[in-house]
Structure 1
């Protein structure tokens, strides 16, 4: 048998083929890591800039170590406003609801944990029950013992929990565009990714703020449809909503919503105070028939208001209808 010598160049080629990962792979990994780090640094800078450009407009009350940011306007019967997921008190400010209600009410609206200028301690579960406890404590510190409570979207779940657990505190419930019964919601699952351990932190600090900015116009179109986004909503600080911390809080609420309402739904019939249920007929985010209409059927003494040609953001697009609901209570009393 004849043996043929292997050329040096061939031996080198075989060694390269069977050796460790190529330098190109390592270079790509380093570039990817550097890009993520740079993105995280940029998102942190943009978040700090957003907070600097949108300083707290109200006061703070400390509840068990948590500084809750709130705004208070007007005098008269107390009206408490609870904003939805991903939002903050500026939503109610831009809607004009605070200004309109302050003419004859003491209006109190605060940033729920993780939103606006209220932080969200990571060691606590911030479901509707826990936020109802927080709301009760905030109102206690502010000297409020009897209030009309209006909650929008996720805030409606907090309002309902407050009515269930602290009925003496609530003179009337106004539940707006709420989600009250568990359904199959793949979109909620998708929106919960940033709540996952480790992976969620990575996403919320790097890619999610970028994606959120890109999707912002489409999101507004969906939640306001069939109405156009009103000019007054330009007062809402988008840059505050796409901060990593607020994206993480929003994801946690998306993950908590279905199990929370599953636990709460058996208690709606216990509500004894006046209840007004409001929804936009064309709501593309939460179906008004399977949610608001069903809740009205379960609470026999409730009032149901379905507003045609309106979507999820009825407090923005049908502000007068919400004020009529609030004043209806005042007139009845």
Structure 2
């Protein structure tokens, strides 16, 4: 065997071991962090969700950001606060947590909204207030512009609404590349993501510290599964094109919209919130001091008040 053949064989063995190891770690993460909600099948896709509060009360639907899952909202306390007087439904969006993300579809915001709209109909929910955080704001707005699913109003938190130059999103998109992305997702991406996760969490919560409850309770090992890393990479790749597409919708959105943004957000500049406020016909903008990208953990009272103002009207 030549030196080149030996090197290639060693590389192949190393890659195989990484793939097997990452699959095993993902299975272990799922055993240690079982689903916290229920499942429903909609349009051939299994979705994981929680349904809390009074079923007869006005409903609030919560949609998490890229890379996250239901626990983002349960750990913040937002679900418990809202459930005191509302019905609260929160989904793992396709590809995150325990919801499926079939590979034969491009899961842009419109596709996710179409699926979730059908799921909400299956649950007997109409006219909810929809809250979307970060990438989830796209899905919330996509629900709002659909003609077949009326909503009561929108709460958009830490969203990205207008295209800008974002080199970071291209760097995070590698696992979405066909074939090569799968190789990256099942080999080096979980290791790299594990190494940078603490810094990433500090950045999204800055200027505040990462809450101890979040450190203790958020199932970070589920985030590092190859399938979820690929879903996150796909949404990173779709970020700028989706913002460009959505600009045509803003002038037609007639629902009341409350826009929340942390003044010190290090992920998405607060100018995005101000510009959306000016583009919409009915909106209020709330710039939260001493808050970053995780504004949904920073001022729960203001968010609940905004939701109450729409459900009581």
User: TM-score when scaled to structure 2?
Assistant: 0.96
Q: Which structure's residues are more often helix, by fraction?
A: 1
Q: Give the corresponding residue for 2:224.
A: 242
Aligned mates of 1:114, 1:288 — CA distance in 2: 28
Q: 1:162 aligns with which of 114, 139, 143?
A: 143
Q: Secondary structure at the match of 2:152?
A: strand
CA contact (8 A) 1:164 1:268 kept: no
Tell me how many residue pairs correspond in the alignment. 310
Q: Give the corresponding residue for 1:305.
A: 286
Q: 1:278 aligns with which of 234, 239, 260?
A: 260
Q: Give the corresponding residue for 2:163.
A: 182
Q: After alignment, is 178-187 or 28-37 more displaced?
A: 28-37
CA distances 1:308-328 after superposition (whole Å, capped 9, x unpaired): 111000112222222222223
Aligned mates of 2:298, 2:246 — CA distance in 1: 29
Q: Give the corresponding residue for 2:130.
A: 149
Residue segments in structure 2 that go unaligned for 5+ positions in a row: none
CA contact (8 A) 1:129 1:162 kept: yes
Shift of 1:261: 1.8
Q: Secondary structure at the match of 1:159?
A: helix
Shift of 1:217: 0.6
Matched, 1:67 2:46: yes
Q: Give the corresponding residue for 1:6.
A: none
Matched, 1:47 2:11: no
Q: Secondary structure at the match of 2:97?
A: coil
CA contact (8 A) 1:172 1:275 kept: yes
Shift of 1:107: 0.1
Aligned mates of 1:245, 1:80 — CA distance in 2: 25
Q: 2:182 aligns with which of 192, 201, 216?
A: 201
Q: Give the corresponding residue for 2:269.
A: 287
Matched, 1:33 2:15: no
Aligned mates of 2:126, 2:10 — CA distance in 1: 58
Q: Give the corresponding residue for 2:251.
A: 269
Q: Give the corresponding residue for 1:99.
A: 80
Residue segments in structure 1 that go unaligned for 5+ positions in a row: 1-21
Aligned mates of 1:243, 1:71 — CA distance in 2: 22
Is the radius of gyration larger for structure 1 or structure 2? 1
Aligned mates of 1:279, 1:254 — CA distance in 2: 20
Aligned mates of 1:164, 1:292 — CA distance in 2: 19
Q: Give the corresponding residue for 1:14.
A: none
Shift of 1:158: 0.5
Aligned mates of 1:182, 1:23 — CA distance in 2: 51
User: TM-score when scaled to structure 1?
Assistant: 0.91
CA contact (8 A) 2:117 2:149 kept: no
Shift of 1:87: 0.5
CA contact (8 A) 2:155 2:259 kept: yes
CA contact (8 A) 1:180 1:261 kept: yes
CA contact (8 A) 1:85 1:153 kept: yes
Matched, 1:116 2:92: no
Pairwise CA RMSD: 1.2
Aligned mates of 1:167, 1:294 — CA distance in 2: 28
Matched, 1:222 2:181: no
CA contact (8 A) 2:59 2:127 kept: yes
Aligned mates of 2:147, 2:198 — CA distance in 1: 38
CA distances 1:81-110 after superposition (whole Å, capped 9, x unpaired): 000000111111111110110000000001
